[in-house]
């Protein structure tokens, strides 16, 4: 007897003559033979769960009834083994699509989520998400044909979007969010979910996940064990509204719980939070962040062991566990910690998602099963990624230097650590673009051979902490025949592991190691290799960031040899037992790749370990070349900021001002500020392009640069989009989804989850650039603000907006509410509506912005519920939270 999957068909038989059934998914094929038939008994009728004519709940219940306890438990972890006797193969629920299908090979890479939010265009974001889901289905259909649809990152259940509130710019994962405002986050989030899930009344195109419920927003270092207790007003007015919008309006299929605890109970086992989800009518499944259930007992110590932690979470409402180890739910049931009925209640919504994806239905019934792989990374999708990048760019300052005139340029100096960086285009949770365009490449393509574009890096991002920096993966590259997919990621070194201490014979295993920092702790480093007495050879190339002398620090327990560019730098192969640290130096003349080789022998070390660190030349070593370049140029474009290599999720960072993926200071790193000031002193037009996933403080650069552009992490076509803005082919209209503060000293304690003095709603100081800010190459005038009321308490606000300049452009009309005076501390203003419009020069458009009773609700602590404060409300309409052009009032009884 055998099972096979091929080209969307599931086959079963006992010989080469077998039955074959059309299927769209990995739970593929209408299995017409029951368990008794598989054992040699008589065939039964088609199982109810395989009958598309039956109601969904009937089909799900039938499948649940056919599963054993152990099979049920096995289906409630992210990487399942399937149920072969029912024709259900393995499947991994973990897939990513934050701004394009991620970690699954070539895909269209759109601007990072914070950049999508900067478009302030929810209809456009829905189009982007729909395109992402098209590529997801195309990839899934291809994986079916190849027989690997059950592997991680090949499925249709996506753990995105991240709708946490970006309450503090120091948070490294803020780049994944839609900014600091709950209303904007909700509108962009709903659009993204609708684009991912599609609008078919029966089938989901893909499954989206609203994450991380709730209040997750740094610091990264404490996320696994922190208890947050915001005031209830902050919880209900800031942290929860976007989740409510995605559940009620977006009908999001899944919600992911956060690591942190809320009011003393981890979010993954928090009955209070699950009760809120049910009150909103949520009918999908809940998944925990990876390892969060493990944290219930290991970090919070609220359970005696893993089975008890899993039982605690499932009893509260969890359906799917991502993380460590085998599912322990069957153990929990057998120990009486959980009833099988409670287990079924958790499994049921999980299976319902699979049915809605069409995994149990014939292909011809599922409208997405025929999307071809040619849709992936298509020219049309690449054009949309460029459009998205153009829409996301924010013009922060312009004293008339922009747009640059190509006809007046003979030579352009391009300087800065982000000018020719591919990683800075991509942010985190990204796919692999086939033809990424850096800013330098975009400028050269735009200007052509008639203008000399001279590049000098000038400086690194920031000061590296000497001797403490592990050589980063982005500096290393290797081809690796490791027998595992690299999905286009060739960073790191190829490691050959030998089952002896002498590098003798053929390697027992090969891997790609992205960084060299290992302390194996008595565990074998690879399959077929002992825990001690082994050896490793790492090979590949290293690309220096700057020319100059590099110091390499190697700390190891065991023997070590190291060479670079064909020169042996270290031979300590017969080192005495114990930890030893060696420092060697090598000079590199430019940024060309050099071959390196590192060999290690664990000898008889009981605790083998090794780390390869470096200290590059001083970060200002490129100043002289950059200044010489600028002196010879007609204009200077400095492309700086920070990088996803510095800010992100729970990551090691060894630059001054950064820690664990977060920032300790929000100021533009000092080395970049020094170079920018020196460039400004030359008197040439200076344009500063800041690339970052978060707000950066640079008031002194605002004072000396002629123009400043915020480009975010703009995706695969970011370099073209930025060039288009700088040279006027695109009129910028992005708006800030976050406040840009002037200093770290403006911020409250990072670990404090109270909203007091945070974001534009509560900040009492003067920002560098306010929330909603963004300039244009044209101007807009507002007039005739009206409010029309309806009996149900809804209102429609209309305003006439005119393009009063000479160029066509987009304006983002923003509506804010100020509530009546109150003895309770409240927001200074709250975004309640927005609309992005395109206007020709001289054109006028009437913009309508709806307000519902929900727009006016505020949390009332005395009532323990929402209420709309009575009195006179002020309606503010303008171009940013600080640029209010027109206002009126309305009264609530």
Residue numbers annotated as active site: 289, 647
Q: How far is CA 140 from CA 110, 147, 231, 357, in A?
A: 20, 10, 44, 12
Which of 2, 4, 32, 6 minimizes the C-alpha distance to 14? 2
CB 222 within 8 A of CB 751: yes
Three-state secondary-structure class, residue 501:
coil
Tokens at 228, concatenated: 């947050």
DSSP-assigned beta bridge partners for residue 663: 658
Considering only CA atoms, which of 449, 424, 402, 417 is closest in space to residue 723? 402
CA-CA distances (angstroms) from residue 82 to 21, 30, 40, 86, 858? 19, 16, 22, 9, 47
- How far CA 398 is from CA of 593, 775, 776, in Å, comes to 39, 8, 9
Cβ-contact 719, 798 below 8 angstroms: no
Distance CA 174, CA 425 (A): 16
3-state secondary structure 831-893: EEEEEEEEECCCCEEEEEEEECHHHHCEEECCCCEEECCCEEEEEEEECCCCCEEEEEEEEEC
Rounded Cα gap, residues 654 and 658, in angstroms: 7
Q: Which two tokens stand for residue 753?
A: 């989850």
- Find, among 587, 615, 485, 592, the residue nearest to 542 by Cα: 592
Locus of tokens 């000098």: 456
Cis bond leading into 212, ω under 30°?
yes
Which phi-psi region, left, alpha or beta, contains residue 5 (left: φ > 0; alpha: ψ -120 to 50)?
A: beta
Tokens of 584: 């060697």
Which residues, listed in sequence order, are joined to residue 580 by a DSSP beta bridge?
556
Q: Are 383 and 49 in contact (CB under 8 A)?
A: no
Cα-only R_g, the chain: 29
Q: Classify each residue of 523-550 as buried b or exposed e, where b means 16 or more C-beta atoms within 10 Å of its C-beta.
A: ebbbeebebbbbbbbbbbbbebbbbeeb
Cα separation of 380 and 377, whole Å? 8
Q: Which of 545, 516, 520 is nearest to 613 (CA)?
A: 516
What are the tokens at 177? 């969010």
The 10 Å Cβ neighbour count of residue 231 is 16
- Look up residue 591 and give its two tokens: 């940024």
Phi-psi domain of 358 (left: phi exceeds 0; alpha: psi -120 through 50; beta: other): left
How far, in Å, CA of 226 to CA of 245, rounded?
Answer: 26
Instruction: Tell me the C-alpha distance between 500 and 95, whole Å.
Output: 38
Q: Which of 664, 657, 567 is nearest to 619 (CA)?
A: 657
- Greatest alpha-carbon pair distance for the chain in Å reads 89
How far the first Cα of the chain sits from its last, in Å, is 74
Please list, in sequence order, all residues whose beta carbon lies within 8 angstroms of the beta carbon of residue 379, skipping any fewer than 6 positions away: none
- Residue 864: CB atoms within 10 Å: 9
Tokens representing 405 are 């005139």
Which structure tokens are listed for 62? 């039938």
């Amino acid at each position: 007897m055998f099972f096979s999957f091929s080209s969307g068909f599931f086959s079963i038989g006992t010989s080469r003559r077998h039955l074959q059934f059309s299927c769209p998914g990995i739970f593929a094929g209408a299995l017409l033979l029951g368990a008794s038939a598989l054992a040699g008994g008589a065939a039964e009728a088609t199982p109810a769960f395989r009958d598309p004519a039956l109601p969904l709940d009937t089909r799900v219940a039938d499948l649940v009834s056919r599963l054993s306890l152990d099979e049920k438990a096995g289906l409630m972890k992210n990487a399942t083994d399937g149920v072969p006797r029912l024709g259900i193969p393995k499947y991994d629920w973990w897939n990513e699509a934050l701004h394009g299908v991620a970690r699954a090979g070539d895909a269209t890479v759109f601007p990072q989520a914070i950049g999508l939010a900067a478009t302030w265009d929810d209809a456009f974001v829905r189009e982007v998400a729909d395109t992402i889901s098209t590529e997801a289905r195309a990839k899934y259909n291809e994986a079916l044909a190849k027989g690997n649809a059950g592997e991680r990152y090949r499925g249709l259940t996506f753990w995105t979007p991240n709708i946490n509130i970006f309450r503090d710019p120091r948070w490294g994962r803020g780049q994944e969010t839609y900014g600091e405002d709950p209303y904007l986050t909700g509108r962009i989030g709903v659009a993204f979910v609708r684009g991912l899930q599609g609008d078919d009344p029966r089938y989901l195109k893909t499954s989206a996940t609203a994450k991380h419920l709730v209040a997750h927003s740094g610091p990264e270092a404490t996320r696994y064990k922190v208890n947050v207790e915001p005031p209830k007003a902050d919880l209900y007015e800031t942290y929860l509204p976007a989740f409510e919008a995605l559940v009620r309006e977006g009908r999001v299929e899944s919600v992911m719980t956060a690591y942190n605890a809320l009011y003393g109970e981890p979010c993954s086992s928090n009955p209070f939070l699950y009760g809120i989800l049910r009150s909103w009518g949520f009918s999908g499944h809940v998944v925990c962040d990876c390892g969060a259930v493990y944290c219930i007992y290991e970090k919070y110590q609220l359970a005696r062991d893993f089975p008890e932690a899993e039982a605690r979470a499932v009893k509260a409402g969890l359906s799917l566990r991502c993380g460590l180890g085998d599912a322990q739910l069957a153990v929990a049931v057998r120990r009486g910690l959980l009833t099988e009925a409670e287990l079924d209640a958790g499994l049921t919504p999980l299976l319902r998602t699979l049915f809605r994806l069409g995994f149990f239905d014939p292909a011809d019934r599922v409208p997405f099963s025929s999307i071809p792989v040619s849709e992936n990374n298509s020219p049309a999708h690449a054009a949309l990624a460029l459009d998205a990048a153009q829409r996301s760019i924010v013009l922060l300052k312009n004293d008339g230097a922009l747009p640059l005139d190509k006809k007046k340029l003979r030579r352009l100096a391009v300087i800065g650590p982000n000018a020719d960086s591919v990683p800075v285009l991509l942010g985190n949770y990204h796919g692999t673009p086939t033809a990424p365009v850096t800013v330098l490449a975009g400028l050269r393509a735009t200007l052509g051979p008639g203008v000399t574009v001279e590049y000098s890096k000038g400086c690194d991002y920031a000061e590296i902490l000497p001797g403490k920096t592990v050589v980063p993966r982005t500096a290393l590259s290797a081809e690796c025949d490791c027998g595992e997919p690299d999905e286009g990621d060739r960073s790191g070194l190829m490691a050959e592991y030998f089952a002896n201490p002498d590098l003798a014979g053929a390697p027992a295993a090969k891997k790609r190691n992205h960084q060299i920092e290992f302390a194996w702790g008595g565990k074998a480093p690879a399959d077929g290799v002992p825990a001690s007495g082994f050896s490793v050879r790492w090979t590949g190339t290293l690309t220096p960031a700057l020319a100059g002398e590099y110091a390499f620090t190697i700390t190891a327990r065991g023997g070590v040899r190291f060479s670079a560019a064909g020169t042996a730098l270290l031979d300590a192969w017969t080192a005495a037992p114990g930890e030893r640290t060696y420092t060697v130096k090598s000079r590199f003349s430019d940024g060309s790749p050099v071959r390196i080789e590192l060999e290690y022998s664990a000898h008889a070390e009981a605790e083998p370990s090794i780390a390869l660190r470096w200290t590059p030349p001083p970060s200002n070593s490129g100043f002289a070349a950059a200044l010489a370049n600028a002196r010879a140029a007609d204009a200077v474009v400095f492309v700086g900021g920070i990088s996803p290599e510095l800010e992100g999720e729970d990551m090691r960072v060894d630059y001054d001002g950064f820690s664990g993926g977060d920032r300790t200071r929000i100021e533009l790193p000092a080395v970049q500020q020094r170079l920018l000031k020196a460039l400004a002193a030359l008197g040439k037009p200076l344009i500063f392009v800041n690339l970052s996933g978060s707000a950066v403080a640079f008031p002194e650069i605002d004072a000396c640069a002629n123009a400043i552009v915020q480009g975010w992490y703009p995706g695969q076509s970011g370099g073209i989009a930025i060039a288009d803005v700088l040279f006027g082919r695109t009129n910028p209209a992005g708006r800030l989804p976050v406040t840009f503060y002037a200093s770290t000293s403006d911020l409250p304690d990072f670990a404090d989850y109270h909203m007091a003095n945070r974001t534009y709603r509560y900040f009492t100081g003067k920002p560098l650039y306010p929330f909603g800010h963004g300039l244009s190459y044209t101007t807009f005038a507002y007039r005739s603000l009206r409010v029309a009321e309806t009996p149900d308490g809804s209102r429609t606000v209309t305003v006439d907006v005119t393009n009063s300049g000479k160029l066509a452009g987009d304006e983002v009309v923003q509506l804010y509410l100020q509530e009546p005076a109150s003895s309770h501390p409240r927001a200074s203003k709250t975004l309640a509506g927005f609309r992005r419009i395109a206007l020709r020069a001289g054109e006028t458009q009437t913009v309508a912005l709806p307000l519902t009773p929900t727009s006016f609700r505020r949390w009332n602590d005395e009532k323990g519920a929402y209420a709309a404060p009575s009195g006179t409300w002020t309606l503010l309409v303008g171009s940013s939270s600080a640029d209010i052009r027109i206002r009126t009032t309305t009264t609530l009884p």
